[in-house]
Amino acid sequence: MSIHTENELTELNHLQQQLMLAVEDDARRVEILATLLGEAACYRLAIYQIPADFVLSVVIPVYNEVKSLPQVIAAVRRCGFQCEIILVDDGSTDGTRDLLDGMRGEPDLKIIFHEKNQGKGGALSTGFRLATGDAVIIQDADLEYTPNDYRALLQPIICEGVDAVYGSRFITGQRNVPRLRHYIANKIVTMWSNLFTNLLLTDMETCYKVFRREVIQEIAPTLREKRFGVEPEITAKLARRKGLRIREVPIRYFPRSYEEGKKIGWRDGIRALWCAIRY
């Protein structure tokens, strides 16, 4: 049995209080971790203080996702940021509309119904215009992307004043192994887009794109693509803005099959090639 001196007990009690504070207070948690790990390690681990008044707008285009949508909303709510969650139902027919209708009145949700399906581009355009947060992120309504990556995605915007961040499934870091045909198609579309934008992205088609709100709301009224062509269209219009700073960070990806509800197809890939030229 160990015996502690009065000073040691005081120090242990102080440490316990610090740990309790670390759980409840973001700034104190960051301070303690910075002391223990060092600033360089904290930067690599995306440990930083979130401004108290920072609000993240999460735009979720929804089409027939009644099974996964409750889990996605719950995951966003656990992300560690103050969020306004903008759900744009794009003419769902599987019970998603009834699910969302039952969520009306929840204070962190903005729910919009498109009477006719307008595609992902149409849903995003609606959501972007309604955003009021400091930054805006795109979140698919399935479970392929995890909101646990939000902190890393937002670090360049909050800490360095970057204008837009792309989450890449193909740069340094652990990743789930994608299907070869999907990987090749993505690489072809990304390289083709890079030729016309003069950017050097590794994953132009990623869902996880984050923007300062002013940036995306200037672009939103000009968006014309209704389906997945909105990805190269947004990228092209960002690339034309002089002085705009874009960053890529690694993200995790959990691909689902077409049987599980994946919607993008080969025709969307062909359209993306055309959109890279058009915009």
Q: Could you give the CA distance from residue 265 to residue 209 in angstroms, rounded to a whole number?
A: 20
The band of 26, judged by pLDDT with boundaries at 50, 70 and 90, is confident
Span 260-270, mean pLDDT? 55
Span 215-238, mean pLDDT? 91
User: Is 208:149 a contact under the CB 8 Å cutoff?
Assistant: yes
Least confident of 4-18, 33-47, 50-64: 4-18
The band of 270, judged by pLDDT with boundaries at 50, 70 and 90, is low
The full DSSP string for the chain is -----HHHHHHHHHHHHHHHHHHH-HHHHHHHHHHHH-HHHHHHTT--PPPTT-EEEEEEEESS-TTTHHHHHHHHHTSSSEEEEEEEEES--SSHHHHHHTTTT-TTEEEEEESS--HHHHHHHHHHHH--SSEEEE--SSSSS-GGGHHHHHHHHHHH--SEEEEESSSSS--PPPPHHHHHHHHHHHHHHHHHH----S-TT-S-EEEEHHHHHHHGGG----STTHHHHHHHHHHTSTT--EEEEE-------TTTT----HHHHHHHHHHHHH-
Indicate the pTM of the whole model. 0.83
**In this predicted structure, what is the pLDDT of residue 21?**
54
Structure confidence by residue, pLDDT tens digits, 142-180: 889 999 999 999 999 999 999 999 999 988 765 555 565
The band of 250, judged by pLDDT with boundaries at 50, 70 and 90, is very high
Positive/negative CA dihedral, 102, 104, 106, 109: positive
Looking at per-residue pLDDT, the higher value among 94 and 183 belongs to 94
- Token duo for residue 166: 């792309």
- Token duo for residue 258: 């077409």
Structure confidence by residue, pLDDT tens digits, 96-155: 999 999 999 999 999 999 999 999 999 999 999 999 999 999 999 988 999 999 999 999
Average model confidence (pLDDT) across the chain: 85
Q: Comparing C-alpha atoms, which of 209, 229, 66, 225 is closest to residue 141?
A: 66
The band of 95, judged by pLDDT with boundaries at 50, 70 and 90, is very high
The distance in angstroms from the start CA to the end CA of the chain is 73
Q: Could you give the CA distance from residue 272 to residue 173 in angstroms, rounded to a whole number?
A: 27
**In this predicted structure, what is the pLDDT of residue 110?**
98
Architecture of domain 56-278: Alpha-Beta Complex (3.90)
Q: Could you give the CA distance from residue 179 to residue 9 in angstroms, rounded to a whole number?
A: 56
Looking at per-residue pLDDT, the higher value among 225 and 84 belongs to 84
